[in-house]
Chain A
Amino acid sequence: EAQVTQNPRYLITVTGKKLTVTCSQNMNHEYMSWYRQDPGLGLRQIYYSMNVEVTDKGDVPEGYKVSRKEKRNFPLILESPSPNQTSLYFCASRTRLSSYNEQFFGPGTRLTVL
């Protein structure tokens, strides 16, 4: 089944404790993105990647890191999480074919930073 998976789905942590949210897709997509979703603010892009070893900042990159060492994986790293990073996070992927722009979203990771 074609899908984007994220782990963990739920995470409660404390300020300053480094964490990684994994994202993996099995569709051989070149493009991947991370978003956070907050009430009243909608979905905001954190980082995106257009291929292996190619990553760019989105709208809200502060406090986050990403890497793209393999085509299928795009982990999101919070080196020192803070309470304002409490949010619902989505990973997404899509093919680079310009005629087909659908993003496939993962199930989401709900993160709480105390």
Chain B
Amino acid sequence: EDKVVQSPLSLVVHEGDTVTLNCSYEVTNFRSLLWYKQEKKAPTFLFMLTSSGIEKKSGRLSSILDKKELSSILNITATQTGDSAIYLCAVEGNTGNQFYFGTGTSLTVIP
């Protein structure tokens, strides 16, 4: 059965801390792994990782794909209160446009 597992389920940190969010997957015919941020509304896209692009960085956020371990991490450095959100990991597999999402990691950044 295809599945995506995220850890931890929730996290509370202070502003300025660095956090690492984890995503592991078992998906048939892996095509890509995506990270989204969700703040009480629709998810918004952060990164896409594939076999040909296993590391991405945007400002304080970065992500790495480990195809051997079937996992990915999302790092956020110097966290801010605006980073408080649910972070979702999704994997595209099989036929294309078929996506499997993890349950998300809820991040709370305290001032």
Contact = CB atoms under 8 A, between A and B. Distances in A.
A41 B74 CA distance: 20
Contact of B45 (A43, A44, A103): A103
- Interface hub of B31, B45, B90, B97 (most chain A Cβ within 10 A): B97
Given A43-B88, A108-B42, A102 B48 contact: yes
A48 B94 CA distance: 13
B42 A105 contact: yes
Contacts of A107: 41-42
Contact of B97 (A33, A41, A44, A59): A33
Contacts of B103: 40-42
The prevalent SS among residues of B at the interface is strand
Nearest to B34: A101
Contacts of A79: none
Nearest to B101: A43
B102 A42 contact: yes
Interface string A93-114: 0101010011111111000000
B29 interface: no
Interface residues on B, range: 20 to 34
Contacts of A102: 34, 45, 48
Contacts of A103: 34, 43, 45, 99
Contact of A108 (B34, B41, B88): B41
Given A33-B97, A101-B32, A102-B45, 9 more contacts: A31-B96, A35-B101, A40-B103, A43-B101, A45-B99, A50-B95, A56-B95, A98-B96, A102-B34
Interface in B43-60: 43-45, 48
Interface in A1-52: 31, 33, 35, 40-45, 48-50
A95 to B, nearest CB: 11
Nearest to B102: A42
B30 interface: no
